[in-house]
Amino acid sequence: AMALGFAGCQKTASNEIPVGEFASLTGKEATFGQSSHEGTVLAVEQINEAGGVLGKKIKLLTEDNASKPGESANAVNKLIAKDGVVAILGEVASSRSLEAAPICQSAKIPMVSPASTNPKLTETGDYIFRVCFIDPFQGTVMANFAKNTLKEQNVAVFTDVKSDYSKGLAKFFKEGFTKAGGKIAAELDYNGGDKDFKGQLTAIKAANPDGVFVPGYYTDVALICIQAKEVGLNVPFYGGDGWESSKLTEIGKDAVEGEYFSTHYSPDAGGEKAKAFVEAYKKRYNGKAPDAMAALGYDSALILADAIKRAGGTEGDKIRDALAATKDFDAVTGKISINKQHDADKAAVIVQVKNGKFEYKETVKP
């Protein structure tokens, strides 16, 4: 009803609840947005088939930010002012969530990020939530993995300085690795979207590290792993959730074989809820297996629908309070309780690239 006050607004039928979504459906991180969107759509379809929420159907309004800076602000401004959405789902990449969050906060429209892990996001304000763990945890998980499982002593860190996610995760990894008794042999930077990493990789090779932590996104990571081999840097490479895309192995091929990364979910490690989700997703999307972003997109929509139900209405402050009270929600990526900071304390999984697939290795609890 709120949007009806705006001239030229797109009216939502009174038997529908408009929910916004912004995602990178195209551009550099297109697989992030496509996957989270597919998971979100599946959840909304299932919720509506089961009768909807508060006697109404959820109407999902999706905007593509093309993986570009500036476009997430445009997207949420439109969703709020023109479409009159009652809440917003998005984004995967932390920099794009950080761009949208202040707008949602000042409009008092609850925002639920499925997968952004930079801690700063939920510090924006009390209307901002996420259903995933944060990078101080993820960085520590990979630091301990490098030190204790891979038994490395000196490692290099290669950071995308254009990405809030990458800068944060690099910092938390370094802190964790030093705390575990290891040494940082070299720290080099790149800009996401670069095509030539050989200069920095040659400098890393000169520092003679046991391994290299790359907290980047899959398109860059695949090229980095290829070029590392070309400069003769043949040590293990590993990273975080930003590696997760079918494109990592499509582009990286042999150069990413055997490498490790941490992420939120593995279809091989879930309970009953996860099994049902994998089946429903495959059925809906031509046999395709869901990745972590798909599972988190699905969970973000379920958590929001559950909160609207408990709120008993669609006012922003009521949905906010209900989201904040989420406890032990049985989600595909694990039990979700929203903590004081409006984050979710959840386990991470570590996977290894094996024969072009992501093989489940272990689960690390917070």
The tokens describing 65, both together, are: 């930010």
Q: Which one, 219 or 314, has the nearer CB to ligand PHE?
A: 219
Instruction: Write the single-letter amino acid at 46.
Output: Q
ω before 257 within 30° of 0 (cis)?
A: no
Q: Which one, 69 or 312, has the nearer CB to ligand PHE?
A: 69
Q: Which one, 93 or 353, has the nearer CB to ligand PHE?
A: 93
Question: At its nearest, how many Å lie between ligand PHE and the CB of residue 229?
Answer: 24
From the centroid of its chain, how far is CA 57?
A: 26
The tokens describing 195, both together, are: 């095509």
Question: At its nearest, how many Å lie between ligand PHE and the CB of residue 296?
Answer: 6
Please, what is the Cα angle at 366 between 157 and 42, to 5 degrees? 90
DSSP strands (E only) in the chain: 16-23, 57-64, 87-89, 111-113, 128-130, 154-160, 183-190, 211-213, 237-239, 260-263, 329-331, 334-336, 348-354, 357-364
Residues that bind ligand PHE (CB under 6 A): 32, 92-94, 115-118, 165, 241-242, 244, 263-264, 292-293
Q: Which one, 86 or 223, has the nearer CB to ligand PHE?
A: 223
221 near 245, Cβ under 8 Å?
A: no
308 near 110, Cβ under 8 Å?
A: no
Q: Which one, 118 or 266, has the nearer CB to ligand PHE?
A: 118
Question: At its nearest, how many Å lie between ligand PHE and the CB of residue 119?
Answer: 10
CA distance 257 to 358: 10
Q: Which one, 221 or 319, has the nearer CB to ligand PHE?
A: 221
Q: Which one, 174 or 264, has the nearer CB to ligand PHE?
A: 264
CA distance 100 to 23: 11
Q: Which one, 2 or 256, has the nearer CB to ligand PHE?
A: 256
Question: At its nearest, how many Å lie between ligand PHE and the CB of residue 349?
Answer: 11
Q: Determine whether 226 is exposed, middle or buried from the number of CB atoms within 10 Å of its CB (0-12, 13-18, 19+).
A: middle
Question: At its nearest, how many Å lie between ligand PHE and the CB of residue 244?
Answer: 5
- Any idea of the CA torsion for 73, 74, 77, 81, to the nearest 10 degrees? 180
The residue among 92, 108, 95 whose CA lies nearest residue 34 is 92
Question: At its nearest, how many Å lie between ligand PHE and the CB of residue 36?
Answer: 8
Question: At its nearest, how many Å lie between ligand PHE and the CB of residue 263?
Answer: 6
| Strand duo 357-364 + 154-160: pairing | unpaired
Question: At its nearest, how many Å lie between ligand PHE and the CB of residue 21?
Answer: 16
Residue found by looking up tokens 């906060």 in the block:
105
